[in-house]
Amino acid sequence: MTRPATPRKPRTSSQARIDSILDAARTLLAAEGVANLSIYGVAKLAGIPASSVYHFFASVPALLEALTADIHAAFRAALQAPIDHAPLKGWHDLSRLVEQRMLDIYDQDAAARQLILAQHGLTEVTQADRQHDIELGDLMHKLFDHHFQLPRLPDDVDVFALAMELGDRVYARSVQQHGQITPRMAEEGMRVFDAYLGLYLPPYLPKREHPI
């Protein structure tokens, strides 16, 4: 019986080249926006031939999809970072803590604001972002269940993923109007996030004695 081939990880030298390409793309994206990003511009900044960029990324959308995955990896890490269970008095405390971590990423990463929140009209990137949002929503669901006894949630709606998307809509409006997420709009985005979750979570959820 033939065994399926095991996917190979990029060689160390290849991964280093990919990292340098993504770093250059991130820098250009933050400075010039999606519309002005080009393979040749990325290659020039990275100090490598354009053919080397094309070897790993066949097009600008492919490069942006990889950057989207990179940015969402930071969001996943934020959700998986330790949270002190003791100070949490209710699920709103957890909600605010998580959303603030997301806002910190947006605040520190101009490329994330450009790619996730700015209007660029790239279907491939939008679809990739939504798929990653579903994964983040699942992680957030598990995080809330880790600390609180959740009610049964609908099977046909990704409640936590949709809550994040709605909050991002508010943050996106702020970026489009002000070039950044202002403190006022950060607060509004968190209120939208909490308001949607509040349609499914009662005001007070029993807190677990010990996180599961």
Residue 31 lies in a domain: yes
Instruction: Determine the Cα–Cα distance for residues 42 and 25; give it in Å rounded to an integer.
Output: 5
Domain containing residue 135: CATH number: 1.10.357.10
Q: Is the pTM of this model over 0.75?
A: yes
Q: For residue 5, tell me if it sits in a domain.
A: no
Question: Which ranges constitute the DSSP H helices of 4-90?
Answer: 12-32, 39-46, 50-56, 60-80
- In tens, the pLDDT along 67-90 reads 888 899 999 999 999 999 999 999
For residue 110, being part of any structural domain is answered with yes
Domain containing 17 equals 12-197
In a domain, 208, yes or no: no
pLDDT of residue 128: 78
What total number of domains does the chain contain?
A: 1
Q: Which residues contact 68 (CB under 8 A, 6 or more apart)?
A: 115, 116, 125, 128, 129, 132
Q: What is the mean pLDDT of the chain?
A: 90
**185-212 mean pLDDT:** 96
In a domain, 202, yes or no: no
Asked if the structure places residue 187 within a domain, the reply is yes
Burial 37-70 (b: 16+ CB within 10 A, else e): bbbebbbebbebeeeebeeebeebeebbbbbbeb
**Which of the four pLDDT bands, split at 50, 70 and 90, describes residue 121?**
low
Query: Would residue 90 count as lying in a domain?
Result: yes
Task: Express each pLDDT in 129-163 by its tens digit.
Answer: 788 889 999 999 999 999 999 999 999 999 999 99
Query: Is position 211 within any domain?
Result: no
Residue 120: pLDDT band with limits 50, 70, 90: low
